[in-house]
Amino acid sequence: MNTVAERLAAWAEGEEARFLARLEDEEPCNGWIGEYWRIVGDAADRPHYRHVDGRTIDANGDRWAWSAAFIGAGVWAATRGADWFAYCEWHSTYVRDAIRRAGAGGDQPYRAYPIDAVPVRRGDVVVQWRTGIGDGAPDRPVTWETAPRIDPFTSHGDIVVRAADGVAEIVGGNLADTVQRRRLILASDGHLRDAAQVRGHWFALIRFA
């Protein structure tokens, strides 16, 4: 099928294949991450993103987290440059937009669902709240209900590349400093079963029309 979801899943598989578990600061991976940032920077009208790559250090002395840039670059490729996606360095930006679109109803190019509302499908983006600072702190976990009121919050999104036989295989960027595939257990009806994780819980699923 030549859908946005299928193209997004295929893109994620291709990125996993070309990284081959090599790290963000290695060449050519460093340059590929720079490509993600150039795409997101141009799409979001944030020109300073164009100067970020896999070796760029932030104000805290850490490398820039590029997992949201990975998602944004994937959506850009899958949609052939659509301008309706909320491109940003924060996953929470597109998550909040997808939740807003779900509430607006009608035809939407993408929308969010509570993680337990629909079965997981190839080409979905599953979103995990991650412990962090402020309203992402362990004592103030972000949920489907609170996410629209918090901007930004620490989170992570992965692209589903396979959902069958009780397992969802997901691919994300900036996992152990590379592009990595992980597996989540599904219930018999295809819904995500193990929503609780050590660093945070899965709370949203984003689906493309």
The tens digit of pLDDT for each residue in 59-98 reads: 889 999 999 999 999 999 999 999 999 999 999 999 999 9
**Could you tell me the pTM of the whole model?**
0.95
What is the pLDDT, as a whole number, of residue 136? 59
Question: Considering only 28-42, 130-144, 159-173, 190-204, which range has the smallest mean pLDDT?
Answer: 130-144
The domain spanning residue 170 has which CATH number? 3.90.1720
Instruction: Give the structural domain span for 124.
Output: 4-208
Average pLDDT, the chain: 93
Cα distance between residue 161 and residue 143, in whole Å: 24
**Does residue 198 have a pLDDT over 80?**
no
Q: Is 35 helix (H, G, I), strand (E, B) or coil?
A: helix
Cα distances (Å, whole numbers) of residue 40 to 66, 81, 121, 154, 157: 11, 10, 25, 18, 16
The structural domain count of the chain equals: 1
Cα distance between residue 140 and residue 173, in whole Å: 25
